[in-house]
């Protein structure tokens, strides 16, 4: 045994095994559908790395095809609730942007009765989906080919002969309708003349597969006998062996051949039994002798002709030639002349005569010119017909779509018809002299060689039919069907003739038809649509249905077969009477195929809408109504929701006070739709704007920037943010420029990327903002004047009191110094007295120094306050500035008998901002707090706190009369005040809020309880 496998090695091996799976293995959290593991094959299949996939919790959901996303998420949620393995099929967008079909086989992982994870394998089924679509299209084409074929085609059970399928040509050939044929054998219907004839055919078929072009006789329904060519081939459809028969009526051809043969026999008899007419002319051309054959030839007695001149019965157009022949005989007695001319009979008819003449004037027994004449009228006409026939034959061969090839006994091509060029791409000259195998696929060489050997070994006229693959120039393979015939002994041909035609489409169709038929039953049983077959008679009983139909109605399949189609319809009582059913059946027969929406009722009485397709067909000799329908409950709900949504959108679109435009995201961003407001805002009608680029509404500079480089950056911004807000200038049709506020949203409409632009003319708002800014500036100036007034009052109060004390000390000192001056030299005044006066004077001087220092400190605080209020951004000591500010308003607190306190923070607190604005906020809040403590029995108290550092919180708390919730809701509104006339403008707190939000980027809030007091909290964030 080897070393034990470590856990790490086992994990590595397991990962290697997972990567061998032909699919992407994954694991996910069932609560969030976030992927927790995904195999390395992900990158090969989709183009994404596992790290990228795992980095985004919503990556899988985001790559779902938009048309499949809602369905997949819904089906996943439903399947997880059951806790059973399930599978999904959907499209996923790869890194290249292509959509591929996946089958996702998913297994819930259960621990202690709880769903803890989802595991699955994503398998690429794109090729399978495409093959299914191709098979479906091919099946439709095959059905059309089968039905439209000009030759009769039937499919029957080999063992019993029961017909399973026939085409229209087969019905016409036999005289029976489809309903009469299906389910019966040709023996039962009397089409076969005898059982022995069919048995011989089946025996031959067993030894020769397939059996092609066998001539047999069948009976038409009318009783007349049919001569047909039959090709039989055994096929397997599922477990059943079937017989595919192709039948062609050759009666007309046989009759035509018989007529030609009889005509040839008659002509041969005439030629063989005819006797030449012998005549003798004298040197001048008068008849000396006429044989009895003239009676048969010209219906005249020999005696009536003798003594007449030969020219009398010769056509005038032919006489010059005859005269020339006679003159030549006279000039050259040794010559034998053969003349052809027309001769008239006793009825005035002209006959072609061929005469062989020799000069026997020197023969005393003859003493004349001997003419051996025969009637060649028929021959001349036959030659004319033969020439025409040969011309027609040559034209047919040269122009036939079938390929005609003549080869010698070794397979070397001696003749190739011109049709080889369109069929195989060769010219005839390229193939003549080449072996026939040059254009035959190597896989079929052996088969063709065996067929060729049998044909050559057979008698003249022996023929065999075969199917083989031919090679076009360039290597393309085409299926050909050929008849190989031995005509080596025919002197006019002396070769083997191969007559072939391109059957590629038929071959492919036959292969696909065989495959498609095997799947028909599976398609019926497993179709997601309900399929019901109804006997088309009164009562409309259901004779067959699939599982989907039974499940949809809430019955079993056996229970469905006990019902009428009317049992599935609401209000079925209206169509159960005979008259209503007759009308319904008449309408179905008229239409053949009928599509409509209706409502079905389930076994439990619930109703559901269905989309129904009715088709009247014949099956096993009876009319059957094929009903295919599907539950459209969800589609109806979606359509209703869509209609409501469209109506709502249209109303909002046209009624919106803002301009709304739908803009193409790509290209020059043309306007696809706009409402009247958007068009009027820009000075256009909707018709003038639609189709034009949005650049038409931009001023010249902005337009040029957008055209040059801004479009790409703008699209990138919109794609990244999806929702964009900005302000810009537009130019109207008349050239005037106005400001607009634009809200852009990137959306998908019909698979196209669009921008929904909501625009508002902000000209009035801009003017209002400017007016408001000016008004606020005036208010700020008023507040500064008010602050200056409070500062002046505080200054007077704070300086006046210590100044009075200083003056009092000055008077006391002046009095003591006067007493001291008067005591000098007075013996009654002792040194102790002088020391007492000096001590009192010194005390008065010290007290004056203290009060003077108080004035100096106040002036220092005032100077610092004034300096800090000068404006500008700076870093300042918050506690020190607060102390100085409270000193300025301390006199107002004392006047109102209110205790004003400032809590010292545990550590130094600094803030970056405008110190003057901070002072303004604190002053407003403290003055309001002092006023709130007036006119109440208990002593007022205002407490100022500084809490935290980032953010810094300033709290101003009082124990005044408090505020109601109604007042609290309005205190920050401009011009709102609860103070008496002359005591407030109603702008203080409004300005405080504007300073907090506009200057410091902070907030101001309030908490109050009537009778207990109020606390304002200002939050100052530290700038980054």
Question: Which carries the bigger pLDDT value, residue 793 or residue 694?
Answer: 694
Residue pLDDT, tens place only, 311-349: 888 999 999 999 999 999 999 989 999 989 998 888 888
Q: Which pLDDT score, from 0 to 100, does residue 702 have?
A: 60
At 268 the pLDDT is 41
pLDDT in tens, 283-310: 999 999 888 888 888 888 888 888 999 8
Residue 388 — very low, low, confident or very high, per pLDDT cuts 50/70/90?
A: low
Can you tell me the distance from the alpha carbon of 979 to that of 291, in angstroms, rounded to the nearest whole number?
A: 162
Distances (CA, A) of 701 to 392, 694, 708, 729, 763: 81, 14, 11, 11, 20
State pLDDT tens for residues 243-289: 888 898 888 888 877 876 776 566 444 433 446 888 899 999 999 98
Burial profile 409-425: b = 16 or more Cβ within 10 angstroms, e = fewer:
eebebeebbebbeebbe
Q: Does 447 or 836 have the greater pLDDT score?
A: 447
Instruction: Look at residue 432 in the predicted model and tell me its pLDDT.
Output: 92
Q: How far apart are CA 299 and CA 293, in angstroms?
A: 9
224-249 per-residue burial string, b: 16 or more CB within 10 A, e: under 16: eebbbbbbbeebebeeeebbbbbbbb
User: Which residue, among 543, 533, 620, 536, has the nearest Cα to 586 in the 3D structure?
Assistant: 536
The confidence score (pLDDT) of residue 886 equals 85
pLDDT band at 526 (very low <50, low <70, confident <90, very high): confident
Q: Quickly tell me which residue has 């000069």 as its tokens.
A: 359
Range picked from 226-235, 510-519, 642-651 for highest mean pLDDT: 226-235
H helices within 149-274, ranges in order?
Answer: 168-174, 178-181, 195-207, 251-273
Question: How high is the pLDDT of residue 868?
Answer: 43
* pLDDT average, residue stretch 841-867: 64
Residue 867 pLDDT = 47
pLDDT digits (tens, 9 = 90+) for 105-130: 898 988 888 888 899 989 998 888 88
Answer yes or no: is pLDDT of 857 > 80. no
**161, 186 in Cβ contact below 8 A?**
yes
Whether cis (ω within 30° of 0) applies to the bond prior to 951 is: yes
Q: What is the pLDDT of residue 814?
A: 76
Split at pLDDT 50, 70, 90, the class of 783 is low
444, pLDDT greater than 60: yes
| pLDDT value at residue 835 | 81
397 pLDDT tier (thresholds 50, 70, 90) = low
Q: What's the mean pLDDT when you consider all of the chain?
A: 83
Burial environment of residue 869 by CB neighbours within 10 A (0 to 12, 13 to 18, 19 or more): buried
Q: What is the pLDDT of residues 922-932, one digit of tens each?
A: 988 998 898 88
Per-residue pLDDT, 956: 95
List, as one string, the DSSP characters of 517-576.
HHHHHHHHHH-SSEEEEEESSTT-BEEEE-HHHHHHHT--HHHHTTSBGGGGBTTGGGG-
Distance CA(411)–CA(434), nearest Å, equals: 9
Least confident of 81-95, 892-906, 978-992: 978-992
Burial class (CB in 10 A: 0-12, 13-18, 19+), 622: middle
Q: What percent of the chain has pLDDT over 70?
A: 86
Say what the pTM is: 0.29
Question: With 80 as the cut, is the pLDDT of residue 620 above it?
Answer: no
- DSSP 8-state secondary structure symbol assigned to residue 782: H
Q: What pLDDT is recorded for position 39? A: 87
pLDDT, tens digit, 9 for 90 and up, residues 982-1017: 455 567 788 888 888 888 899 999 999 998 899 999
Phi-psi region of 112 (alpha: psi -120 to 50; beta: other; left: phi over 0): left
Distance CA 881, CA 863 (A): 12
| Better pLDDT: 662 or 204 | 662
Q: What is the pLDDT of residues 12-54, one digit of tens each?
A: 666 666 666 778 888 998 888 889 888 888 888 899 998 999 8
3-state secondary structure of 997: helix
CB 885 within 8 A of CB 893: no
Cβ atoms of residues 925 and 957 within 8 Å: no
396 falls in which pLDDT band (50, 70, 90)? low
Q: Band the pLDDT of 530: cuts 50, 70, 90.
A: very high
CA distances to 4, 541, 583, 614, 627 from 590, rounded to whole Å, are 81, 21, 11, 12, 16
Contacts of 561 (CB under 8 A, 6+ apart): 542, 543, 544, 545
Q: Is the pLDDT of residue 792 over 80?
A: no
Specify the pLDDT at position 657. 85
pLDDT on residue 870: 43
Mean pLDDT, residues 692-707: 72
pLDDT digits (tens, 9 = 90+) for 210-228: 788 888 889 899 988 889 8
| Across 161-170, 202-211, 222-231, 419-428, least confident range | 202-211
The yes-or-no verdict on residue 1022 having pLDDT over 90 is no
Nearest to 537 by CA among 565, 504, 500, 518: 565
Sequence-distant (6+) residues with CB within 8 A of 980 are: none
pLDDT of 139 strictly over 90: no
Task: Indicate whether 804 pLDDT > 70.
Answer: no
Nearest Cα neighbor of 293 from 371, 186, 223 is 371
Helix and strand counts by DSSP (H, E) for the chain: 32, 37
């Amino acid at each position: 045994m080897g070393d034990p496998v470590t856990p790490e090695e086992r994990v590595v091996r397991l990962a290697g095994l997972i990567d061998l799976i032909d699919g992407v293995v994954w694991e996910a959290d069932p609560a969030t559908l976030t992927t927790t593991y995904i195999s390395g094959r992900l990158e090969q299949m989709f183009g994404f790395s596992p790290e990228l996939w795992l980095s985004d919790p919503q990556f899988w959901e985001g790559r779902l095809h938009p048309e499949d996303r809602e369905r997949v998420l819904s089906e996943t949620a439903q399947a997880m609730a059951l806790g059973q393995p399930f599978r999904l099929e959907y499209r996923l967008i790869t890194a290249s942007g292509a959509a591929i079909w996946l089958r996702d086989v998913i297994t819930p992982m259960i621990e202690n009765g709880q769903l803890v994870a989802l595991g699955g394998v994503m398998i690429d089924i794109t090729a399978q989906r495409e093959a299914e679509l191709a098979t479906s299209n091919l099946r439709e084409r095959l059905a059309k080919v089968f039905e439209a074929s000009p030759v009769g085609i039937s499919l029957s059970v080999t063992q019993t002969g029961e017909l399973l399928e026939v085409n229209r040509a087969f019905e016409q050939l036999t005289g029976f309708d489809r309903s009469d044929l299906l389910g019966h054998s040709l023996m039962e219907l009397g089409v076969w003349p005898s059982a022995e004839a069919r048995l011989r055919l089946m025996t031959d078929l067993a030894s020769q597969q397939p059996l092609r072009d066998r001539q047999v006789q069948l009976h038409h329904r009318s009783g007349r006998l049919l001569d047909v060519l039959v090709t039989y081939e055994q096929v397997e459809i599922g477990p059943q062996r079937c017989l595919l028969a192709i039948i062609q009526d050759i009666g007309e051809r046989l009759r035509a051949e018989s007529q030609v043969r009889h005509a040839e026999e008659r002509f041969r008899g005439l030629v063989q039994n005819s006797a030449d007419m012998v005549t003798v002319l004298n040197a001048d051309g008068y008849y000396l002798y006429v044989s009895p054959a003239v009676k048969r030839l010209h219906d005249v007695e020999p005696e009536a002709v003798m003594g007449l001149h030969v020219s009398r019965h010769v056509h005038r157009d032919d006489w010059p030639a005859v005269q020339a022949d006679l003159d030549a005989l006279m000039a050259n007695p040794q010559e034998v002349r053969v003349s052809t001319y027309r001769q008239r009979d006793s009825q005035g008819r002209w006959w072609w005569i061929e005469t062989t003449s020799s000069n026997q004037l020197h023969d005393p027994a003859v003493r004349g010119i001997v003419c051996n004449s025969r009637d060649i009228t028929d021959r001349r006409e036959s030659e004319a017909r033969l020439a025409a026939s040969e011309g027609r034959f040559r034209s047919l061969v040269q122009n036939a779509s079938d390929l005609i090839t003549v080869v010698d006994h070794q397979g070397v091509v001696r003749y190739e018809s011109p049709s080889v060029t369109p069929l195989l791409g060769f010219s005839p000259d390229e193939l003549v002299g080449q072996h026939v195998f040059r254009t035959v696929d190597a896989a079929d060489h052996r088969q063709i060689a065996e067929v060729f050997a049998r044909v050559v070994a057979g008698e003249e006229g022996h023929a065999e039919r075969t199917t083989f693959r031919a090679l076009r120039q360039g290597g393309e393979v085409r299926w050909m069907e050929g008849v190989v015939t031995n005509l080596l002994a025919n002197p006019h041909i002396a070769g083997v003739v191969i007559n072939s035609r391109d059957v590629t489409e038929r071959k492919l169709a036959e292969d696909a038809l065989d495959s498609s038929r095997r799947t028909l039953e599976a398609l019926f049983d497993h179709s997601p649509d309900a399929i019901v077959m109804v006997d088309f008679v009164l009562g409309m009983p259901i004779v067959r249905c699939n599982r989907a139909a039974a499940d949809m109605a809430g019955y079993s399949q056996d229970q469905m077969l006990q019902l009428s189609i009317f049992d599935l319809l609401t209000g079925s009582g209206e169509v159960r009477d005979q008259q209503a059913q007759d009308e319904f059946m008449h309408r179905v027969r008229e239409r053949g195929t009928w599509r409509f929406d209706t409502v079905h009722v389930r076994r439990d009485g619930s109703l559901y809408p269905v989309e129904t397709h009715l088709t009247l067909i014949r099956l096993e000799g009876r009319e059957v109504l094929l009903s295919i329908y599907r539950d459209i409950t969800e589609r109806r709900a979606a359509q209703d929701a869509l209609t409501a949504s469209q109506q709502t959108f249209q109303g909002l679109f046209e009624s919106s006070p803002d301009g709304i435009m739908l803009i193409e995201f790509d290209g020059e961003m043309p306007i696809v739709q706009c409402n009247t407001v958007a068009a009027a805002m820009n000075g256009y009608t909707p018709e003038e704007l639609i189709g034009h680029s949005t650049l038409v509404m931009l001023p010249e500079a902005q337009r040029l920037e957008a055209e040059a480089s801004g479009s790409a950056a703008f699209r990138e911004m919109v794609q990244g943010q999806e929702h964009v807000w900005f302000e810009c200038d537009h130019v109207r049709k008349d050239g005037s420029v106005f400001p607009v506020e634009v809200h852009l949203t990137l959306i998908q409409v019909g698979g196209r990327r669009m921008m929904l632009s909501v625009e508002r003319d902000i000209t009035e708002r801009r003017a209002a903002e400017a007016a408001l800014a000016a008004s606020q500036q005036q208010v700020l100036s008023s507040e500064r004047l008010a602050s200056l007034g409070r500062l002046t009052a505080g200054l007077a109060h704070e300086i006046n009191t210590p100044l009075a004390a200083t003056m009092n000390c000055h008077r006391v000192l002046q009095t003591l110094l006067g007493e001291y001056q008067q005591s000098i030299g007075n013996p009654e005044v002792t040194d102790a007295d002088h020391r007492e006066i000096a001590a009192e004077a010194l005390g008065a001087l010290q007290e004056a120094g203290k009060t003077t220092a108080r004035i100096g400190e106040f002036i220092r605080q005032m100077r610092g306050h004034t300096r800090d209020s000068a404006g500008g951004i700076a870093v300042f000591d918050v506690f020190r500035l607060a102390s100085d500010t409270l000193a300025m308003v301390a006199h107002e607190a004392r006047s109102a008998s209110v205790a004003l306190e400032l809590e010292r923070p545990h550590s130094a607190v600094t803030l970056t901002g405008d110190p003057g604005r901070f002072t303004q906020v604190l002053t407003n809040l403290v003055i309001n707090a002092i006023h709130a403590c007036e006119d109440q029995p208990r002593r007022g108290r205002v407490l100022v706190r500084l809490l935290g550092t980032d953010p810094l919180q300033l709290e101003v708390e009082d124990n005044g009369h408090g505020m109601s919730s109604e007042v609290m809701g309005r205190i920050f509104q401009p011009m709102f005040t609860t103070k008496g006339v002359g005591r407030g403008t109603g702008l203080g707190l409004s300005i405080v809020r504007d300073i907090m939000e506009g200057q410091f980027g902070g907030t101001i809030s309030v908490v109050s309880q009537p009778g207990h007091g109020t606390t304002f909290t200002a939050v100052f964030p530290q700038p980054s």
